[in-house]
Structure 1
Amino acid sequence: MRGPPPEPRLAAHVYGHQAAIQQFEESFASGRLHHAWLISGPSGVGKVTLAFHLARRLLGGSDLESPAGRRISAGTHGDLLTIARKMDPRKGQLKGEITVADVQPIQNFLHHTATEGGWRVVVVDGLESLNRFAANALLKILEEPPPKTALFLTTSSPGTLLPTLRSRCRVLALAGLDEADMKAVLPDVPDDVLHRAHGSPGRALFLAQDRDGICAGLVERALAGEELDHENWVIVSQIAREAEGFALVCDLLGEALAGQARDAAFAGDLPRAALMADRAGRLGQMRLQSECFSLDRAEAIREVLALARQG
């Protein structure tokens, strides 16, 4: 069996997204390459992989075995800077936002001469995670970029960004991968999981963590209004011990509630559609609060399942 796809920095190939690559190549060939590219699309669809692919193109590292290619893979290329959420050592998880202190190194990086005499490239992973101060700091950088500078900014939520920030970027909007590309990326993931992932390899890997369907079964019983017995509470405790257990339950339940809201709307039952949409929104708030404040995972799972059982 093959392992999971390589991390974005190490990927030798981009599956799908050929239209986006073509747009970039045409701009590059024209000699008037835009300085900022906003790569948007669903979570796990390959936005950061594409960003590094384009960065390699500018830095002469498309061949992973070339000197520049090896430096990019190792994270030691002097003309490539990556900004993303950092780990919180106290909580052992990623911080909830990218701060102005995280963004400030971009200014110094771009105003130094390129170490290899060519382009300077910045990849910002998760633009929606920038807090207000960080977003304003990045906006100032985008307003007056130095020559031969390229910024690749990824986001799953373009609608949440500052309009002034979006307006200074050229957008590459990515759709989900087709069936053939999904199977090429993840040949060992079952077809039913690939189908539920809606063209997102990252989501398929996430869903595949529910190897025995334990989380899915728990959510299904809660949605049916069943009161969970002692055996099921033991399962809740087991899920809570898994790193992504709580997130999986929330994801599966959120998808089900959104589907119920959509089905009710199509059927003309607007009150039920509004009710299900409200519950999906409340679920999102509960998930955010639990993750931000490191609440007890087992208790958090019990609370979201109680939300599902409300009918």
Structure 2
Amino acid sequence: MSDDPDIPVESDRVPGAPHPRETRRLVGQDPALAAFQTAAASGRMHHGWLITGPRGTGKATLAWIIARWLLAGTGSPDLSVPEDHPVARRLRALSEPRLHLVRRSLDDKGRLRAEIVVEDIRKLLSFFHMSAAEGGRRVAIIDAADDMNTAAANAVLKMLEEPPAGAVLLLVAHQPARLLPTIRSRCRELRLMPLSPEDMATALAPLEVAGNPARLGALAGGSVGEALRLSGQDGLDRYADLVALFARPEMDRQAAAAFAQDAAGRPGAGGDPFDLTMTLLDRFLSRAARTGLMGAQLPEAAEGESAVLARISPDDRAARHWASAQAELSARARAGRAVNLDPVALVMDMLLTLAQAPGATEARGRG
């Protein structure tokens, strides 16, 4: 494999979880697996595959399962490859010469780039040219394809238009709409869906996450990767604090200030506290809107959450208000971050704005 195995930070790894190349089982995505199995059984392997779906639902795991099966050549209809197969061992060690991994690389100062650049794709072109003489199947994984800048995307498009012999490109995309339409049109899509509560429990069981798995799964919205991120940042406890703010007849300003203060921590290995806070606010407003439209949600993501959401979002009108507030606060967070506003003041302002919203004040009046 021509990707550098000594890169200290793997941009395609979720903190607290095995890397997708080390994950043997894809949970809850049988339709996507079946779609690829049917294509493989037909004997006409397409050269470009676009693997889409929300973050943390197993897209990279599926890409590595497909790559392992293609390179091992076992022909097993269920895409299985024995763990002790030479290809499986080389992939785990990042030493398989017929696979190239494209992900965000390090710049000349040793920092992780914000995007996949054209130099990364040129290395992929070199890989295909140098390995052409060996013949046989060659596989590239681009994770995530929506991280590519314009020049990189155009270079990949040329490969999809004139694919090297024996090459299969697996493009992982969290937001496929960000890709060039011509890239999407030249790939077959395998779409993954959010996991059900039952599948979330199955996927999280071997990972030994901190916190209540059912509540973690509910808050993560069917994304294993998001559940791991939330677990690693005490997301359940933080969300419970947020719900408690709206459970009181009047918002406790001291408690709100403490919640806002936690958003000011420095980003670390577990993630960015401000990003976590924005995620939790977004989830709370989304769940409030959904409650107004569809009624109480189960399982709860925090103790007493269903009662709080039912009080502040009892009907369609309240649901529309919370959906609008979600979009407005998301835009405010992006704008505030862009001009380096104090995160504590920004979050406190958001909380006080939400506390004065008609849905919240009317619900408290009824309480």
Shorter-chain TM-score range: 0.7 to 0.9
Q: Which residue of 2 aligns with 1:185?
A: 203
What are the Cα deviations for residues 168-218 of structure 1, in whole angstroms up to 9, with x where unaligned?
A: 110001012233332222124422112222221111111112438443255
Amino acid at match of 1:283: A
Is the 8 Å Cα contact of residues 15 and 185 (structure 1) preserved in structure 2?
Answer: yes
The answer to whether the Cα contact below 8 Å between 2:21 and 2:64 also exists between their aligned partners in 1 is yes
Greater relative CO, 1 or 2 (CA 8 Å, sep 6+): 1
Q: Distance in 2 between matches of 1:221 and 1:239?
A: 21
1:216 to 1:76, Cα distance in 2 relative to 1, 3 A? same
| The 10-residue stretch of structure 1 (103-112 or 83-92) with the greater mean CA deviation from structure 2 | 83-92
TM-score normalised per structure 2: 0.72
Does residue 249 of structure 2 align to residue 203 of structure 1? no
Call closer, same or farther: CA 1:49–1:107 in 2, change over 3 Å: same
User: Which residue is 2:282 aligned to?
Assistant: 254
User: C-alpha offsets along residues 22-59 of structure 1, whole Å, 9 cap, x if unaligned?
Assistant: 21122122221110110001111111011000000100
Q: Which residue of 2 aligns with 1:280?
A: 330
SS of match in other structure, 1:310: helix
Distance in 2 between residues matched to 1:212 and 1:34, nearest whole Å: 41
The verdict on how the C-alpha distance between 1:68 and 1:216 changes in structure 2, with shifts beyond 3 A counting, is: same
2:343 is aligned, of 300, 303, 310, to: 300
* 1:4, distance to aligned residue in structure 2 (A): 5.4
Count of residues paired in the alignment: 301
Secondary structure, counterpart of 2:140 in structure 1: strand
Equivalent residue, structure 2, for 1:46: 58
5+ residue gaps, structure 2: 1-14, 74-80, 294-314, 355-367
Aligned pairs for 1:64-103 within 5 A: 64-87=83-106, 94-103=112-121
Cα pair distance change 1:76/1:310, threshold 3 Å: same
**Structure (1 or 2) with the larger CA radius of gyration:** 2
Counterpart of 1:109 (choices 116, 122, 127) is 127
SS in structure 2 of the partner of residue 248 of structure 1:
helix
Partner of 1:156: 174
Q: Give CA deviations for 1:233-268 in whole Å, capped at 9, x if unaligned.
A: 795278446542232212111222344555678723
Q: Kindly tell me: are residues 105 and 203 of structure 1, through their superposed partners in 2, closer, same or farther at Cα, counting changes over 3 Å?
A: same
Matched, 1:227 2:253: yes
1:309 aligns with 2:328: no
User: 2:39 is aligned with what amino acid?
Assistant: S
TM-score by length of 1: 0.83
Instruction: State whether residues 122 and 152 of structure 1, in contact with CA within 8 Å, keep that contact through their aligned partners in structure 2.
Output: yes
**Distance (Å, rounded) in 2 between the aligned partners of 1:195 and 1:44:** 14
Whether the aligned pair in 2 keeps the contact of 1:225 and 1:310 (CA below 8 Å) is no
- Measured after TM superposition, the shift of residue 65 of structure 1 is 1.4
Aligned Cα root-mean-square deviation (Å)? 3.1
2:106 counterpart of 1:63: no
**Aligned counterparts of 2:286 and 2:62: Cα–Cα separation in 1:** 29
Tell me if structure 2 keeps the 8 A contact 1:261–1:274. Answer: no
Alignment gaps of 5+ in structure 1: none
**Cα 1:115/1:194, change in 2 over 3 Å:** farther
Distance 1:108 1:241, change over 3 A: closer
Q: Would the alpha carbon gap of residues 263 and 237 (structure 1) be closer, same or farther in structure 2, given more than 3 Å must change? A: closer
Percent of paired sites with the same residue: 33
Question: Offset at 1:60?
Answer: 0.3
Structure 1 position 6 matched with structure 2 position 34: no
**Which amino acid in 1 is paired with 2:285?**
L
Q: Report which stretch shifted further, 177-186 or 72-81.
A: 177-186
8 Å CA contact 1:48–1:154 kept in 2: the answer is yes
Matches of 1:107 and 1:131, distance apart in 2: 16
2 CA distance for matches of 1:72 and 1:199? 28
Q: Is the 8 A contact 1:218 1:232 kept in 2?
A: no
Tell me, in whole angstroms, the C-alpha distance in 1 between the residues paired with 2:127 and 2:148: 19
